[in-house]
Amino acid sequence: MTYTEYLDLVVQLATVNLKPGSRYITAAALGVLLKQASPEVDWKFFGKRSLSELLSDPLIQSRLSVIETDKKALAIQPINQVATPSVSLETFNPLRKSVWDSFVMGTPTGRRFMHRHNGMVRMGLSTAPNPVDDWVEIAPISLEEQRKWAVEFLDGVHGKFDVVRSELLEGDSWHPHLFAEALRGADEVELRQWNRFRSARVSTVVKEWLAQHALPAERAFQSFPRGQNDKRAEQDAAKGAIPNLESDETRRIILEALSLLPLERLLEIPIPAGVMLSALSNAKPR
């Protein structure tokens, strides 16, 4: 990681992780987030004795303001930040649905991978697809991590949802869906705030994962106008998975790919009844 990349990470974390209703993040909280996001590289790696010294860099000060809270604690405020929660990346640059699902959804069980060159996502696998070097494994975000996000969100609304906290955060039955439904029943506005808050956190995790594996943003984020799903992106990815070859060669590649699938996966593929009957007829002993 270069110094400029590290400064960009500082600005990103300070901007995305604002609590709802707050215009700043404390330096202590930012320091913890930096250590979580970059455990092997910190400000000392670049010759800075402290986080406050790093924040005095002109490249930081052009984007972040260092202030004091009412309790005289050091805090960081994004320049031109309005007194509303941070706008989620999901608002203007949403994740592709398949990518969101692979990082957030608990099902299907199994390992998850993204193709380096076309962004295709595969889930529910036991091993990486072939060729292995073309696929990067995705580590889904745990429910416990998302529970921590929910705690931070509720901390920012000043005890407004104590019932939600006691019933859905402190018990063993917590789940993002149940949490969202509880907010929906209490306050639709806060539900929308939570959705933006959670989306921003997921987007941050995905961006860090992309950077870790040297993948461009378009592998995970939609580049189409808001409101469209990622069907077109998936279609383009599928087209890119097989090179433009003659029909016989393409057929051979598809058959070889099918031969690698276990029987239970083959049975899931919809095959026209006529084709199946014809194959069975040809397979009969003569």
Higher pLDDT, 286 or 213: 213
Enter the pTM of the model. 0.48
What is the overall mean pLDDT for the chain? 75
Higher pLDDT, 97 or 278: 97
Exposed/middle/buried for 23, CB within 10 Å: 0-12, 13-18, 19+? middle
Contacts of 92 (CB under 8 A, 6+ apart): 226
pLDDT over 70 (residue 20): no
Of 8-17, 18-27, 81-90, where does the model show the most confidence?
8-17
pLDDT over 70 (residue 230): no
Q: What is the mean pLDDT of residues 237-263?
A: 58
The string of DSSP letters for 149-188 reads HHHHHHHTTTTTTHHHHHHHTSSTT--HHHHHHHHHHH-H
CA–CA gap between residue 261 and residue 258 (Å, rounded): 5
Domains and CATH numbers, the chain: 3-86 (3.30.420.610), 143-212 (no CATH)
pLDDT over 50 (residue 228): no
Share of the chain above pLDDT 90, in %: 18
Provide the token pair at 68. Answer: 């004091």
Q: Picking from 4-8, 194-198, 205-209, 245-249, which range would have the lowest pLDDT averaged per residue?
A: 245-249
